[in-house]
Amino acid sequence: MALLQLDKATIRFGGLTAVSELDLAIGNTDLIGLIGPNGAGKTTAFNLITGVYQPTSGQISFNGQSIVGSKPYLITARGIARTFQNIRLFASLSVFDNVRAVFHLHLRGDVRHALWRGRGYHEEEASIANRVIELLEIFQLAKYRDEPAKSLSYGDQRRLEIVRALAAQPKLLLLDEPAAGMNATEKVELTRLIRFIRDKFQISILLVEHDMQLVMGICERIAVLDYGVKIAEGTPDEVRRNPKVIAAYLGE
Amino acid sequence: MNLNLRHAKTGLLGALALCFLVTLFSKFINPYWLYILYDIGINIILAVSLNLINGYTGQFSLGHAGFMAVGAYTAGVITNQFGQLNAFASGGVFLGALLAGGLMAAVAGLLVGIPTLRLKGDYLAIVTLGFGEIIRVILQNVDSVGGARGYSVMHGWTNFFWTFGLAAVTVYVIASLVNSTYGRGFIAVHDDEIAAEAMGINTTKYKVSAFVIGAFFAGIAGGLYAHSKQYITPGGFGFMQSIAFVVMVILGGMGNTVGVILAAILLTLLPEGLRFLAGVQQIPGVAKMYPLSWVGDTRMIIYSLLLIVLMLTRPQGLFAFKKRQR
């Protein structure tokens, strides 16, 4: 059974059908790419999965349960975390706190814990701090732990956003154009990073990306959207040769 | 500037004990200054609680005086039901009345918190402003609490222990909350609501909680105010009062608890400190033909000018010494 299953998911904004009857299945530890020309509905598909938009019709299920109608924060709690096309960090919080804020998902105690400040609270906060540092160290961000997130370089901010998403301990990670604005060297680095995350954390990754080289290089399967319709799906080689895909990108 | 919270609970107990001690000797303090001290404590509670809403959570509320009014009238009406009590019983009744005032204000906070789910920035400010005005107008028209004439509160139970003890409790609660992993959510909502929601933070719950908690403490401050002045009027909880609290938060540095406490102290003392101007009659040694009695009238003008200068020179907050860190 697939981890994430989209079944004829459709969303209309007035007269415009942004995503039309999209079928997509993502299994455990899959690394799947979602590509398409500008305005094809890739980010909209992301927003459907994360609950920002509700599908007009169709079904979306995660781990065998429908997530249609669920609020975004509940979907994250179930195990889908995402990054954003234009970085959205908690700018005034430190690097450490950006990641720590997400750990409230794994808190055992509630607010009363924080107010009483007993031993249980301090132990839990200490263990969270350890886990945050551990994550930051994996991604070489621990040295910036007390810097405000906004002071990081662009590449580091992108990486921090991924770390923050991983702090939610997701089963599925959605990356929305992670290579946007990166130079060639950074892209090579990113490719390695994405593979590493999949192997290290044993999670599935769905990648929306413009950069063909990157997508073709790391994805095992690629789905192509054009005008909200899935026109092709298959291995990178199959997709590359598909005449419909060539037409969508280059015209007939 | 961050509070070091490692020994927060010890600090709180120490502060309470100290407040108790000072209270025992408060009859040796000049009553004029004693009442200014009460004002300082009350304003600290108001500014620190508003800081949770405006500073940390980033919701622009202009209705804090409204919450204060709810607490003041609730507590005042409750204690007025009691006659003279001994020290012990009065303490119990007073605490109960203050808590009841806080709870009523918290309910009001819940009512205002709900529209915040849809509104942001200026729009939210207008709604909260309207709310504060509604409270004031309602109180003005309820005859059983004196209407526009105001309401006398029989018992002057506010003392140093209650004001500063409860100020310490307020600071403790809000600082502990915001500095916990749970409480980072308030700042996450402030920084980026969409990202916060995507990171599993229930933004609705955080925004409403900020209003409810902030209003609760404003209500308690209102109760203290009522039992310090012993006479409250709806006009005393107007829009300008709310603005004064917002100024304290901005001047202290949004989301900087220590700064906001210092700003509350400074802004309470400043108008009092400028009272010496009223004593200026003439320049010593200069002929009486140049009377200077008008100098006293410039007190509030100078106060406003000082505020403008402070805001121009330290827009990041008067007490933000290093890079803003939270």
pLDDT (tens digit per residue) in A37-80: 888 899 999 999 999 999 999 999 999 999 999 999 999 999 99
Note the pLDDT of residue A251: 75
Q: What string of DSSP letters covers B275-286?
A: GGGGG--S-TTS
Residue in chain A nearest B8 by alpha carbon: A117
Q: Where are the domains of chain A?
A: 1-79+170-252, 93-168
Of A169, A170, A173, A107, the residue nearest A134 (C-alpha) = A169
User: CA of A155 to nearest chain B CA: how many angstroms apart?
Assistant: 18
**Which of A80, A85, A93 best probes binding to B when mutated, by most B CB atoms within 10 angstroms?**
A93
Pairing of strands A172-176, A204-208: parallel
Interface A-B: count of C-beta contacts within 8 A:
109
User: CA of B172 to nearest chain A CA: how many angstroms apart?
Assistant: 8
Cβ separation A101–B188 shorter than 8 A: yes
Cβ separation B182–A90 shorter than 8 A: no
Per-residue pLDDT band at A116 (split at 50, 70, 90): confident
Asked if A125 reaches chain B (Cβ–Cβ under 8 Å), the answer is: yes
Q: What does R_g of chain B's alpha carbons equal in angstroms?
A: 20
Separation of alpha carbons B236 and B100, rounded Å = 21
Q: Give me the phi and psi of A21, to 5 degrees please.
A: 40, 55
Cβ separation A107–B199 shorter than 8 A: no
User: CA of B296 to nearest chain A CA: how many angstroms apart?
Assistant: 44
**Which of B182, B193, B204, B217 best probes binding to A when mutated, by most A CB atoms within 10 angstroms?**
B182
Cβ separation A94–B325 shorter than 8 A: yes
- What is the full per-residue pLDDT of chain B (326 aa) written as tens digits? 345 677 888 999 999 999 999 999 988 999 999 999 999 999 999 999 999 999 999 999 999 999 999 999 999 999 999 988 888 899 999 999 999 999 999 999 999 888 777 888 889 999 999 999 999 999 999 999 999 999 999 999 999 999 999 999 999 999 999 999 999 999 999 999 999 999 999 999 999 999 999 999 999 999 999 999 999 999 999 999 999 999 999 999 888 999 999 999 999 998 888 887 777 766 666 666 677 777 777 878 888 888 888 888 887 887 776 544 44
Q: Hey, what are B290's tokens?
A: 């140049």
Note the pLDDT of residue B1: 38
Note the pLDDT of residue B268: 94
Choose among A52, A72, A107: nearest Cβ to B181.
Answer: A107
Cβ separation B325–A146 shorter than 8 A: yes
Largest CA distance in chain B: 74
Per-residue pLDDT band at A250 (split at 50, 70, 90): confident
Instruction: List chain B residues with CB under 8 Å of A158.
Output: none
Note the pLDDT of residue B310: 83
Average pLDDT of the residues of chain A: 93
Separation of alpha carbons B64 and B47, rounded Å = 9
Q: What superfamily would CATH give domain A1-79+170-252?
A: P-loop containing nucleotide triphosphate hydrolases (3.40.50.300)
Tell me the pTM.
0.92
Instruction: List chain A residues with CB under 8 Å of B185.
Output: 101, 104
**Residue A129 class from Cβ within 10 Å (0-12 exposed, 13-18 middle, 19+ buried)?**
middle
Of B308, B304, B246, B241, the residue nearest B274 (C-alpha) = B304
The answer to whether the CB of A183 falls within 8 A of the CB of A151 is no
3-state SS record for chain A: CCCEEEEEEEEEECCEEEEEEEEEEECCCCEEEEECCCCCCHHHHHHHHCCCCCCCEEEEEECCEECCCCCHHHHHHHCEEECCCCCCCCCCCEHHHHHHHHHHHHCCCCHHHHHHCCHHHHHHHHHHHHHHHHHHHHCCCHHHCCCEHHHCCHHHHHHHHHHHHHHCCCCEEEEECCCCCCCHHHHHHHHHHHHHHHHHHCCEEEEECCCHHHHHHHCCEEEEEECCEEEEEECHHHHHHCHHHHHHHHCC
Instruction: List chain B residues with CB under 8 Å of A50.
Output: 198
**B 244-303: CB under 8 A from A:** 255
Cβ separation A101–B199 shorter than 8 A: yes
Cβ separation B326–A91 shorter than 8 A: no
Question: What's the rounded mean pLDDT across residues A218-227?
Answer: 93
Separation of alpha carbons B166 and B256, rounded Å = 19
Instruction: List chain A residues with CB under 8 Å of B192.
Output: 88-91
Q: Which residue has the higher pLDDT, A118 or B71?
A: B71
User: CA of A246 to nearest chain B CA: how many angstroms apart?
Assistant: 34
Q: Tell me whether 0.85 is exceeded by the ipTM.
A: yes
Asked if B195 reaches chain A (Cβ–Cβ under 8 Å), the answer is: yes
Separation of alpha carbons A204 and A198, rounded Å = 7
Cβ separation B199–A77 shorter than 8 A: no
Note the pLDDT of residue B316: 80
Note the pLDDT of residue B324: 46
Instruction: List chain B residues with CB under 8 Å of A72.
Output: 197-198
For residue B23, give Cα distances in angstroms to A10, A168, A204, B30, B261: 69, 49, 63, 13, 21
**A 81-120: CB under 8 A from B:** 81-82, 84, 88-94, 97, 100-105, 107, 110-111, 113-115, 117
